[in-house]
Structures are given as structure tokens and as C-alpha cells.
Amino acid sequence: MPSFNHLASRPEAAEAPQFPIIAEVASAAAGERAYRSGPDAVAELDTRRPAPPAKPPRPASAASQAQPIRPGYWKRTGADLILASILPVVLLAAWQYAGSSGLASPEFLPTPLAIAERLAGLLGSGELLHHLGVSIGRALTGFAIGGSLGLLVGLLTGLLREAEYVLDPSVQLLRLVPHLAVAPLIILWFGFGEVSKVVIIANGAFFPMYLNTYLGIRNADNKLFEVARVLEFRPLRRLTRLTIPSAAPHLLLGLRLSLAVSWIGLVVAELIGSRSGVGFLINEAKQNAATDIIFVGILLFAVVGKLIDSLVRLLERRWLRWRDSYQG
């Protein structure tokens, strides 16, 4: 059998494996053999030993990582706004022409100018701002209660399979019950006060938040949870560093839908029974045949709902800028 003992005295044996751990072991073995061979071999080994690797560069700060606005951004934004305003402007012009020429009765379809005059009058008297403030307060209160419960129950059913088996079938069954079917029962239980209105809004805000939280957790990559298990993450650390960030797109979508349904539930709550709010203003205008005030209320619901939705979309674009999604 051939002998390989003559290779043990060669310092070249320390030259390198590509893997760091193997390289360290080989270097230590070569050093020990050189030490046994004498001081000359040690000096030769020191001259042949590679230089230590350079330290990796320090990560850039958050300020330096901020991406500058791309050239032509404002130009594209202005072009998008012009394109988005074409259809509303055409519809308003046609509407105004139909009302001014007598094609449409002003009692059933008042012109945009008449609606604008009524809007200015309600703003000047302060009545409109009062009703709008009441409606926004109700919507935010109901959303805070229903959205928080939806988030908590969604986290529970998403993280624990036993909780999913117990809670999810019942929640999915209740989710399919319309608002108008539940509203009379809620009013019968809680009366015509503020509690019934908040409960109706919270009932609508609960289900979108619950469903998207549950789906966000269950659609996360299972390998991330395996890594967290290997690294022995504590439950709170796993929740804040892994579960919530991986489910962030679904959570923000649930936030957006929950706010939209809360605003729609506000209309149902105020139209059924209320003494203040934009819904009450519309209901009172219906009894007085004030069509222009009805259009003012509809316009308020549309504008405020759009502003809320745009705010959530802005947060989504800011917090999820790492996604390379299709933009059309």
C-alpha cells in the first residue's frame, strides 16, 4: 500500500479549501506540522498564509438609503391626474347641460351648480360640519372596536390550528349575513342610541380584518417559521419579527377593506335611526323632498370615503415599497 507520510511535512497542505470551517481546520493542522519541523518551516508558513479577509462595509443609514424621486415623477403624476379627471368633468358637463336645457327636472335631478350652492350654504351655517364630525366619530369608534377584534381573532386562528377548528366555521357563517338583516336585531337589543350604531359599524369592520389577517398568516412561507423554531424565538419575538411582517400586505388590505365597510355600515346605521350625522341629514332631506341636500350627503360620503381609502393606499405604498409588484 503506498504511503502518504511524505505529504505531512509540506506546508502547501495548508493551502486551501474553499469552505471557511474546513480552511480553519486545515490551517491549524499545517501550523502544528510546521512547528514540529522547526522554526524555518514556521517562518515559511507565515509568509504563505493568506491575509485576513476585509471587514464587510457598514450598512448605510436610513437617510442614505432613501431613494430620490425618479426623474419625470411629477410629470407622470400630473398626467395621471388629468386622465383621471376626464370622465368626471365630462359627466358633470353633460349633467349641467341636461339640467339647464330642461331635459332633466330640477326637482329630481338638480344641476351641479345648484348642489354646489346648497353645499356652500350648509358649510356657511356650520350644520354640515357638525353632522360630518358626528359621522366620522361613529365610524372611527366602530372601526377601532371591530377592526381590533378582527385582528386578534385572525391572529388566534392563524397561529393555532385548534382555534381555527373552533372559531373559523362560526365566523365564516356569520360573515355571510347582510348588514340590513342584522341591523333591526341590534337596534332591538341596544335601542336607538349611539351604542347600536357603533355595534352595527363594528360588525361590518370585523370580518374583512379577520379574514385578511388569517389569510396573511397562513400564506406566509413555512420555512420562516422553521428558522424561527431553530433559532428558538420566543412567541412575542416571533410575532413581531416574523408573523406580522410576513402578513403585512394582507393586513393592510384588511385595514383598507375594513375602513370601507365601516363607512358603508355608517350609512346603514344612520339611515335606520339617528338624530345627527350625514345619514340623518339625507333622511331628513328625503322627507322634505330636498333633492339637492340628498346629493350633498351622497357627495360627502363619496369624498370622505375616497380620502380614507387614498390614505391607506399611501401607507401601503410607503410600508410595502420592498415589493416588486406589477404596476401596469
User: Is the Cβ–Cβ distance between 267 and 136 less than 8 Å?
Assistant: no
Residue 18 scores a pLDDT above 50: no
Domain harbouring 157, CATH code: 1.10.3720.10
Q: What is the pLDDT of residues 127-143, one digit of tens each?
A: 889 999 999 999 999 99
Claim to verify: residue 138 and residue 266 sit in the same structural domain: yes
Q: Residue 67 domain-assigned?
A: no
Same domain membership, residue 116 and residue 43: no
Same domain membership, residue 179 and residue 32: no
Which residues lie below 8 Å from residue 220, measured CB to CB, with a gap of 6+? 242, 243, 246, 247
Residue 96 lies in a domain: no
DSSP characters over 243-256: IHHHTHHHHHHHHH
Cβ atoms of residues 242 and 299 within 8 Å: no
16 & 152 share domain: no
Domain total of the chain: 2
313 is a domain residue = yes
The verdict on 43 and 189 lying in the same domain is no
**Residues with Cβ within 8 Å of residue 161, at least 6 apart in sequence:** none
38 and 157 housed in the same domain: no
Is 278 inside a domain boundary? yes
| 170/274 same-domain check | yes
165 & 301 share domain: yes
Percent of the chain with pLDDT over 70: 75
Distance (Å, whole) CA 125 – CA 213: 44
| pLDDT > 90 fraction of the chain, expressed in percent and rounded | 25
**How much is the average pLDDT of 165-182?**
89
- 191-210 pLDDT, tens digit each: 888 898 999 999 999 999 99
- pTM score above 0.85: no
Given this model, what pLDDT does residue 62 score? Answer: 44
Q: What is the pLDDT of residue 157?
A: 93
Give pLDDT tens digits for 35-70.
455 555 444 545 555 555 555 555 544 444 445 555
pLDDT score for 156: 92
- pLDDT (0 to 100) of residue 241: 82
Most confident of 75-79, 114-118, 218-222: 114-118
Residue 100 covered by a domain = no
- Residue 296 pLDDT: 92
User: In the prediction, which pLDDT does 85 show?
Assistant: 84
210-248 pLDDT, tens digit each: 999 999 998 888 887 788 888 888 888 888 888 888 888
Mean pLDDT across the chain, nearest whole number? 78
Position 289 scores a pLDDT of 83
Dist. CA 106–CA 86, nearest whole Å? 25
Dist CA 14 CA 272 (whole Å): 85
Q: What is the pLDDT of residue 140?
A: 93
pLDDT tens digits, 243-293? 888 888 899 999 999 999 999 888 888 887 778 888 889 988 888 888 889
Residue 72 is predicted with a pLDDT of: 62
Q: C-alpha cell of 266? A: 355608517
Find the length of the chain.
328
Decide if 269 is inside a domain: yes
Same domain, 37 and 157: no
Q: Is residue 275 part of a domain?
A: yes
Q: What is the pLDDT of residue 151?
A: 94
Contacts of 85 (CB under 8 A, 6+ apart): none
290 occurs within a structural domain: yes
Which residue range(s) make up the domain with 28? Answer: 9-47
- Residues 146, 32: one domain? no
Q: Residue 77's pLDDT is what?
A: 73
Co-location of 253 and 127 in the same domain = yes
Residue for grid cell 517562518: 43
